[in-house]
Homo-oligomer: A and B are copies of this chain.
Amino acid sequence: MSVERIRLETLRHKVMTAEQAASFIQNGMVVGSSGFTKAGDSKVVLPAFAERAKKEDIKITLMTGASLGHDTDGKLAEAGALSKRMPFQVDRTLRNKINAGEVLFIDQHLSESAELLHNENLPPVDIAIIEVAYIDRDGSIVPTTSVGNSVTFAGLAKQVILEINTAVPEEVYGIHDIYQAENYPHRNVIPIVAPWNKIGRKTIPLDPAKVIGIVFTDITDSPADIAAPDQKTSSIARHILQFFENEVKLGHLTDRLLPIQAGIGKVANAVLMGFKDSNFYDLTMFSEVLQDSTFDLIDSGKLSFASASSITVSEDCYHRVFDNLQRYRDKFVLRPQNISNTPGLIRRLGVIAINTAIEFDIYGNVNSTHISGTKIMNGIGGSGDFARNAYLSIFVTQAASKDNAISHVLPMVSHVDHTEHDVDILVTDIGLADLRGLAPRERAQQIIDNCVHPDYREELQSYFDRACIRGGHTPHLLEEAFSWHLRLGQTGSMKK
Contact = CB atoms under 8 A, between A and B. Distances in A.
A342 B350 contact: no
A193 B184 contact: no
Contacts of A194: 185
Contact of A347 (B344, B417, B436): B344
Given A375-B472, A389-B343, A472-B99, A439 B84 contact: yes
Contact of A384 (B372, B421, B437): B421
A72 to B, nearest CB: 20
Contacts of A116: 436-437
Interface residues of A, number: 84
A374 B470 contact: yes
A478 B480 CA distance: 10
A380 interface: yes
A109 to B, nearest CB: 6
A370 interface: yes
A416 interface: yes
Nearest to A434: B121
Given A343-B347, A388-B388, A436-B116, A258 B185 contact: yes
A392 B119 CA distance: 10
The count of identical subunits is 2
A473 B439 contact: no
A327 interface: no
Contacts of A374: 467, 470-476, 478
A149 interface: no
Interface of A: 84, 98-101, 104-109, 112, 115-116, 119-123, 181, 184-185, 187-191, 193-194, 250-252, 256, 258, 342-345, 347-350, 365, 370, 372-376, 380, 384, 388-389, 391-392, 414-417, 419, 421, 424, 436-439, 441-442, 467-468, 470-476, 478-479, 481-482, 485-486, 489
A127 B48 CA distance: 68
Given A98-B473, A343-B344, 6 more contacts: A104-B439, A184-B349, A375-B473, A376-B472, A388-B388, A414-B478
A441 B119 contact: no
Contacts of A375: 471-473
Contact of A474 (B190, B348, B415, B486): B415
Contacts of A376: 472-474
Given A436-B121, A478-B372, A473 B421 contact: no
Given A99-B471, A193-B187, A439-B104, A478 B370 contact: no
A474 B373 contact: yes
A188 B348 CA distance: 7
Nearest to A184: B350
A419 B421 contact: no
A471 B421 contact: no
A373 B478 contact: yes
Contact of A189 (B193, B365, B372, B391): B193
29 contacts: A99-B473, A101-B471, A104-B439, A104-B441, A105-B439, A106-B437, A116-B437, A120-B252, A121-B436, A122-B436, A184-B258, A185-B194, A187-B193, A187-B349, A189-B189, A189-B191, A189-B193, A190-B348, A343-B388, A343-B389, A344-B344, A373-B474, A374-B472, A374-B474, A384-B421, A414-B478, A416-B416, A417-B421, A478-B486
